[in-house]
Structures are given as structure tokens and as C-alpha cells.
């Protein structure tokens, strides 16, 4: 028998429906229900998207630092904007690899 009932809050799984024995007022979800699976996938996707936006924002702010230093050498211009974009994209990519999150739910 599979452990088809799942607590979204603490990830506890068990065979029988009911409330989570570890969390107060947390009903267990039936992960064999397609609607529940879809909801959990959407929750994971939203968490991952939110984390990646945060990493991207930090990368854009941190990415301005080397470009500011470069502006002392080459002055102003389109090159600096491209350098900032490139640096931010590279930092964002590296940041999501280092600090990104994976799907939390088993669906």
C-alpha cells in the first residue's frame, strides 16, 4: 500500500486519510488526486519562480559593481549597459545554480 496522503506543510506521508499527526489543523492531501497534484506542482513552480526573481534582482544590483569600476576606464556608453546586462545574466545564472531551489513536493 502506498503512502498516498501527504502533508503539504511538513511533507509527512501516510496510508490513511485524516489530519497530519505533526501539524496542527493540517488535513492530509491525497496525492493520487490529479487536482491535488496540479496544485502542488503550481505551488512548487511559484516558489521556484519567486526565488529566481529574487536571485535575479540581487544579480542585477551586484552586477552593477564591476560595470561601475569599468566605467572609470572606458567612460560611458552602450558598452557599459551591455556589460551590466551580461554580468547580471551571468550572476543570475550562477546564483540560480548555487542558491536556487528544487520542487519540494513529491508529485
Comparing CB distances to Zn ion, the nearer of 20 and 31 is 20
What are the cell numbers at 23?
501539524
CB-wise, 26 or 44, nearer to Zn ion? 26
**Which residue of 5, 6, 7, 92 would you call a contact of Zn ion, by CB under 5 A?**
7
Q: Kindly state the number of chain residues that form the binding site for Zn ion, as judged by CB under 5 A.
A: 8
Of 22, 41, 50, 104, which one interacts with Zn ion (CB under 5 A)? 22
- C-beta of 5: minimal distance to Zn ion in Å? 11
Q: DSSP letters of the chain?
A: ----EE-TTT--EESS-SB-SSSTT-BPEETTSHHHHHHHHHHHHHHHHHHHHHHHHHHHHHHHHHHHHHHHHH-SSHHHHHHHHHHHHHHHHHHHHHH-----S--
Measured from the CB of residue 18, what is the shortest distance to Zn ion in angstroms?
11
20 is a contact residue toward Zn ion (CB under 5 A): yes
Binding residues for Zn ion, rule: CB under 5 A, are: 7, 9-10, 12, 20, 22-23, 26
Amino acid at each position: 500500500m502506498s503512502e498516498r496522503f501527504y502533508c503539504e506543510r511538513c511533507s509527512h506521508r501516510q496510508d490513511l486519510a485524516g489530519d497530519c499527526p505533526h501539524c496542527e489543523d493540517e488535513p492530509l492531501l491525497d496525492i493520487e488526486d490529479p487536482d491535488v497534484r496540479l496544485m502542488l506542482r503550481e505551488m512548487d513552480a511559484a516558489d521556484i519562480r519567486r526565488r529566481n526573481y529574487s536571485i535575479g534582482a540581487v544579480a542585477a544590483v551586484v552586477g552593477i559593481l564591476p560595470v561601475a569600476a569599468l566605467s572609470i576606464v572606458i567612460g560611458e556608453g552602450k558598452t557599459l549597459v551591455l556589460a551590466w546586462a551580461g554580468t547580471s545574466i551571468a550572476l543570475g545564472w550562477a546564483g540560480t545554480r548555487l542558491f536556487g531551489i528544487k520542487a519540494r513536493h513529491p508529485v
